[in-house]
Structure 1
Amino acid sequence: MNIQSFTPLHRRAFLRGSGGCLALPWLEAMLPRVGAATVPPERTPRMGMFYFGTGMNMRQFYPDGLGTAAKLSRILTPLEKHRGHFTVLSGTELTHGGGHNGAYPFATSIARGEKQAISPDQIVAERFGSQTRFPSLQLSVKRGTGFGSQALATISWNRQGIPLAAENDPQVLFNRLFRPTDKQLRGKQADEFRRRGSVLDAVLSDAQSLQSKLGQADRQQLDQYFQSVREVEKTLRTEIEWSDRPKQTPNFKGYGDYEQAVTPEGNGKFIYDTYAKLMYDLIALAFQTDSTRVISYVVRTELAGGVYPEFGVSKGYHELTHHGNDPKNLEQLASVDTIYMRHWAYFLDRLASIRDGDGTLLDQTLLGFSSGMGIGHSKDTLPTMISGGSGLGVRHQTHLKLPDHTPLASVWQTMVDRMGVPVESDFQDSTGVIGELIT
C-alpha cells in the first residue's frame, strides 16, 4: 500500500500578504495523519469564571426535578437548546458569602479583610499562560479592581493575593486582542520592556545584597518582594517574546461593531444588550484565536447597577432583591434574571457555532458561574452552573443536587481538575472534586 507523506498545518497557521495576515480557522489539514487514519487532535482546554453579583431570584432558578430530564425553570428557559451542555448545581455554599462582600471569597473562599490567596483561574493561567499572548484576561462591567469597596470589579487574584484589574471597554479589549501594532512602535515597546527588565535586575541585585544584614522577619518580607519582582520579570519576558508576533485576525463577520462600543460609564447611547453580546463575543474570539485560555468576568457587581432602562423594570437590581415577598418585586427580579440568561444562551450559541478540533469550542471550554449570595442575601442556595467542557470529560446532567453546604470551592476544584492542572488535596475549603460531573 502506498502511503503518501503528509505534513499537517500548524494550529496557528496564517495567510500572509503585503497588507497583513489572516489567521486560518480550524481545518482538518491541521490534524496529523497516520496512513489513511486520522489521529484525534490534542485538546486545547479553556476555562472561564463568571460572577453575577447580588444573587438571583432563586425561587424561579432551579430546575424542577433532577437529572437530564429536569424541567427548566422560567429563568433558565433560554438555555433549553443547550440541554446536555450545562448542569445546574444546587446545594452550593460560600462559607464567607452572603451580604455584599461575597465577591471577595467567591474565587478564594477567603473573607474580605483577610489576606487573599491565588484564585483558580490564575492557577490554570500559571499552567497555560506561557503558550498564549495573554496568560489570562480579566473582564468586568466595571473597570479596575474596586478593591476595598463592596462593588469588587474582579474575581482574579495572583499568588501574592493581589487583585488583578479588569477591563470593561469592549473597544479597548478588541484593540488589545486584534489591532496590529506598527513596526516602529513594536521596536519602541521592546526597547522599553528590556530597559525596564534591566532596571529590575539592578534592583534585585541590590536587594539580595541586603539579606545578610536583615533579621528573619525582614528576610521573609524580602522573599515576598523577590517573588513580586519575579512575577513582573515573567510578565515582561512574555511581552518581549510576543511583541514581534502578529496578532491573530479571525473572521469578524456576524460580530458587533467594536469601533462604536460604549462602556457602562459612557453616555446615553449605552444599550446593555449590545454591550453584553460584544463582551461575550470577545471571550469567544479570544478563545478561538488561542489568545488566552483563561478568562474571568464580573458580569454584575454588588449593589450598584445590574438593571438598565431597556429592561423595563421599576427598580434597581439591589432594591429588587429586597423584595419583601412583594409579588411585583419578585416578578421583576425573575424578569431581569431571565434577560441575563438570554445573554448566557447567546454566549453558548456563539461557542457552539465555532468548530474546534473534533468538536466545538463549547466542547473544549469549561465555564462556571455563581454569585456571592443567594436570594435574601444568604450565603447558600447559590445560582451555580457549569457549562461546556464535554470534550474535557464533563458529564452534564441538567440538574445535580449536591449535599447541602457543599463549598463552592468544590466546583472550582472540579474545573481546575478537568483543565488537567494538578491541585493540592487541601484546595481551599473544598470537599473534593465532584465525581458525578466527571465521565
Structure 2
Amino acid sequence: MNFLNAKPIDRRTFLRGTGACLALPWLEAMMPRGAFAASSPEVVPRMGMFYFGTGMNMRQFYPEGFGPDAKMSRILKPMENHRGNFTVLSNTWLNEGGGHDGAYPFATSIARGEKQTISPDQLAAEIHGKHTRFPSLQFSVKRGTGFGSQVLATISWNRQGVPLAAENDPQTIFNRLFKPNSEEQQARQGDEFRQRGSVLDAILTDAKQLEGKLGQADRRQLDQYFNSIREVEQTLKREIDWADRPKPTPNLKGYGDYENAPTPEGNGKFVYDTYAKLMYDLIALAFQTDSTRVISYVVRTELAGGVYPEFGVSKGYHELTHHGNDPKNLEELAKVDTIYMKHWSYFLDRLASIQDGDGSLLDHTMLGFSSGMGIGHSKDLLPTVLSGGGRLGINHQTHLELKEQTPLASVWHTMIDKMGVPTETKYQDSTGVIGELVG
C-alpha cells in the first residue's frame, strides 16, 4: 500500500463492536498525505487551571536559586523527575487576594462582591469548545459553586459573571464522559430536549414583548438576560448535536475503580490518595479522548478541609496556616503541601506517559496552579507553578524570578495566548505575556 497517497484516517475514528466503541490513539495513518516527509501532525493545545486554597508554606516552597538548575525545595522535591517540564514563578501577586476571599479574584482579578467577568478558561473554551463534546469541565473537591461564601467551589465564570458549578464525584464524572446511554435514557433525553426547547421559545417570546415597554437601564438588564438564554440555547444545541455520537471508551488498564469511587462527602471508606489519583486520571482521560481541551479544578477550598486522617497531622489545614511561627505547625504544613505535590507529580507522570501526536500529552497541555494567598494569608508571593506545554512554546526554567508583584493574570494571559485566544492589549490586570516563558 502506498501510504503517501492513502486517505488519512479521521482523528476521531472509533472502533465499534457489540454496543461499545473504543477511541483510537494517535496513529501515523491519521496524518495528511505527505506528512511523513513534510510536517508534524496537528497540535491540539489544552489547558488546566488549578486552585489550592489557603496558600502553602512558602518558607519551604520556592526552589533554591533560579534557572534550570535550581535546587528543589522540600515541598517540590516530588517533582524533581519532571525538571524541564515545569517552572516555579516567584513574585506572583493578587491585588484583590489575601484573606479567605482569594478564590474569587483567582481567575478574573475581580474581588468578591464585585461583578465578575469571564474567566480565562472560558475564553479558551469559546474557541476550542466548538470541537469537543464538552466546551470545558469544572472539577472540585466540593460540588456546586459555593457562590456567596468563602468556600468557593469553582474558579470558572461565564461572560455574564455567573459561576459555573463544579463536580466532585469521580463516578459521576466518569459516567458523563464515557458511559453510553441506554435506550431508555436516550428516549428520556430526547423528551427533555424538546421540553427545554419549548420553554426557551416561550420565554423569548414573552421577553421580547416586554422590550418595547422598558427604559434604557431595563433594556440593558434584559439584554444580559437574553445573553444568558442564548447560552442555554447553545448548550441545548450542542447536547442535541452530540447526543447520537458514541462516547469514547478509553483503555482503563492501570487506572482506578470508578464504579466504586467514594466522594469527599461519602462514607468512612474515603481515602484522599485514591480520590486524588482518580480525579487527576479523569483529567488525563478527558484530554486524551479530546472530550474537552479546557478544565478547571479546585483541588483544595478555602477554610474547609484540606487535611485527611491518613496525612498524619494534628490540625486542619486552615488551623495550621495560623502557625504563629510554631515549628510543629510549620513542619506539619510543609508535610501536607508535600503530599499534594506528590499527587501533582503523579498527574504529570500520567500525562507524560500518554503519546499525543509528536510528543506526549504533557507536551501539549499547559497546567497552571496557584492560590489566593501565600503564607500568613498574604496576597503576595503566591505558590505558582506552570507545568507542561513544551511543544506549545513554553520554555521551562525550573525557577523564574519575576518582577515584584507580577499579577497572577499574567500567567493566565500567557496560557491563553498559547491556546490561540486573541486578547485585548489590556487583559485583566496582566502586565503582558511572560516573555521569559515564551521567548
Same fold (TM over 0.5): yes
Distance (whole Å) between structure 2 residues aligned to residue 390 and residue 43 of structure 1: 12
Report the CA distance between 1:210 and its aligned residue.
1.9
- Deviation of residue 199 (structure 1)? 2.3
CA distances 1:143-172 after superposition (whole Å, capped 9, x unpaired) = 111111111000001100011110000010
Contact 1:84 1:396 in 2 (8 A): yes
- Report the residue type matching 1:271 in the other structure: V
Quote how far apart the aligned CAs of 1:36 are. 5.7
Worse overlay, 69-78 or 205-214: 205-214
Amino-acid identity (%)? 76
Amino acid at match of 1:217: A
Which one-letter code corresponds to 1:197 in the other structure? G
Q: Flag as ranges the 4+ runs of structure 1 deviating above 6 A.
A: none
Which stretches in structure 2 are left out of the alignment for 5+ residues? Answer: none
Instruction: Indicate the residue corresponding to 2:295 in structure 1.
Output: 295
SS at match of 1:376: coil
Please say if 1:14 is aligned against 2:17: no
For residues 35 and 287 of structure 2, the distance between their equivalents in structure 1, rounded to whole angstroms, comes to: 31
- Give the aligned partner of residue 130 of structure 1: 130
Matched letter for residue 117 of structure 1: T
- Stretch deviating more after TM superposition (173-182 or 19-28): 19-28
Aligned equivalent of 1:372: 372
Counterpart of 1:191 in structure 2 is 191
1:361 to partner: Cα distance: 0.3
Q: Secondary structure at the match of 2:212?
A: helix
- Alpha-carbon distance in 2 for matches of 1:204, 1:128: 28
Q: Deviations over 1:21-78 (max 9, x none)?
A: 1111111221123186253111111110000000000000001001101011010010
Structure 1 CA distance for aligned equivalents of residues 188 and 318 of structure 2 = 47
Aligned to 1:203: 203
TM-aligned CA deviation for residue 109 of structure 1: 0.4
Q: Check whether the contact 1:101–1:372 (CA below 8 A) recurs between aligned residues.
A: yes
1:417 aligns with 2:417: yes
1:244-268 deviations in Å (ceiling 9; x for gaps): 1100011000000011111111111
Contact 1:31 1:38 in 2 (8 A): no
The corresponding residue for 1:85 is 85
The alpha-carbon deviation at position 376 of structure 1 amounts to 0.5
Matched-pair contact (CA < 8 Å) for 2:13–2:24 = yes
- CA 1:36–1:227 in structure 2 vs 1: closer, same or farther (change >3 Å)? closer
How high is the TM-score relative to the length of structure 2?
0.98
User: Matches of 2:91 and 2:388 in 1, distance apart?
Assistant: 20
Q: CA deviation at 1:19?
A: 2.9
Residues 4 and 289 (structure 1), Cα distance of their counterparts in 2 relative to 1, 3 Å cut: closer
216-225 vs 15-24, which moves further: 15-24
Partner residue, 1:236 = 236
Deviation at 1:202, TM superposition (A): 2.6
In structure 2, what residue type is equivalent to 1:306? G
Aligned partner letter, 1:396: H
Q: Name 1:306's counterpart in structure 2.
A: 306
Tell me the SS of whatever aligns to 2:259: helix
CA change 1:335–1:34 in 2 (3 A) is same
Decide whether aligned partners of structure 1 residues 32 and 319 sit closer, same or farther in structure 2, where only a CA change above 3 A counts: same
Whether the aligned pair in 1 keeps the contact of 2:256 and 2:278 (CA below 8 Å) is yes
1:41 is aligned to 41
Unaligned residue ranges in structure 1 (runs of 5+): none
Deviation at 1:190, TM superposition (A): 2.5
Residue 157 of structure 1 is matched in structure 2 by: 157
Question: Residue by residue, what CA displacement relative to the aligned partner does 1:396-427 show, whole Å, maximum 9, x if unpaired?
Answer: 00000000000000111111001111111111
